[in-house]
């Protein structure tokens, strides 16, 4: 059975980093809007596309730190079904927004792991011809063997080692999302109850 081993990132460090990321994203969107206007183009609306359910907590804190006019269009994708601790491939469970042409889109996810989820979502959204697409993740998990899909993100809160983590929206079998810290887990050798 997997149990919590210890705290990897404390809530205060998470709060400070998410606040800084929100300000950075807002500043970059403002600069992009200014460049578009200088070229005689109207900046498109800002649309946040959080990947549910893992990015729920991160997105809530991130958008409060941004302070810009935006809409939120969540999408539900799954790559860690049930008690899996490794990505099992991406399944689209909730519809991807289809009206993003001309928008300035920020895809928000909890963790960049295999790259498959964010790679797929970026392709689906880019095919709609938005003005821009950015990726923001709370955690960028470093993989010794490399990712299944090479995906670069514009914004990453923290770089972490290749270990399974929970808390601050991240789960194991639907549990632990409500932990305020990000914690590592380990297998204690006991069978699941």
Active-site residues, by number, are 113
Q: How many CB atoms lie within 10 A of CB 55?
A: 25
Question: What does the block give as tokens for 161?
Answer: 């080692």
Residues sharing a CB contact under 8 Å with residue 41, sequence separation 6 or more, in sequence order: none
Identify the CA nearest to 85 among candidates 166, 169, 146: 166
Q: How many whole angstroms separate alpha carbon 35 and alpha carbon 27?
A: 12
Identify the CA nearest to 110 among candidates 167, 149, 69, 71: 167
Dihedral pair phi/psi, residue 173, rounded to 5°: 55, 35
């Amino acid at each position: 059975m997997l149990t919590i081993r210890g705290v990897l990132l404390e809530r205060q460090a998470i709060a400070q980093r998410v606040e800084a990321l929100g300000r950075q994203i807002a500043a970059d969107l403002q600069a992009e809007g200014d460049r578009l206007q200088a070229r005689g183009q109207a900046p498109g609306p800002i649309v946040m596309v959080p990947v549910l359910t893992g990015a729920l907590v991160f997105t809530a804190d991130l958008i409060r730190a941004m302070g810009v006019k935006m809409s939120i269009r969540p999408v539900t994708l799954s790559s860690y079904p049930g008690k899996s601790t490794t990505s099992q491939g991406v399944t689209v469970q909730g519809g991807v927004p289809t009206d993003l042409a001309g928008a300035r889109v920020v895809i928000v996810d909890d963790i960049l792991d295999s790259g498959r989820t964010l790679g797929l979502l970026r392709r689906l959204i880019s095919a709609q011809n938005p003005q821009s697409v950015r990726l923001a993740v709370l955690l960028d998990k470093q993989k010794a063997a490399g990712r299944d899909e090479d995906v670069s993100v514009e914004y990453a809160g923290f770089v972490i080692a290749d270990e399974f983590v929970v808390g601050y929206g991240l789960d194991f079998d639907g549990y632990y999302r409500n932990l305020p810290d990000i914690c590592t887990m380990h297998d204690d050798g006991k069978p699941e109850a």
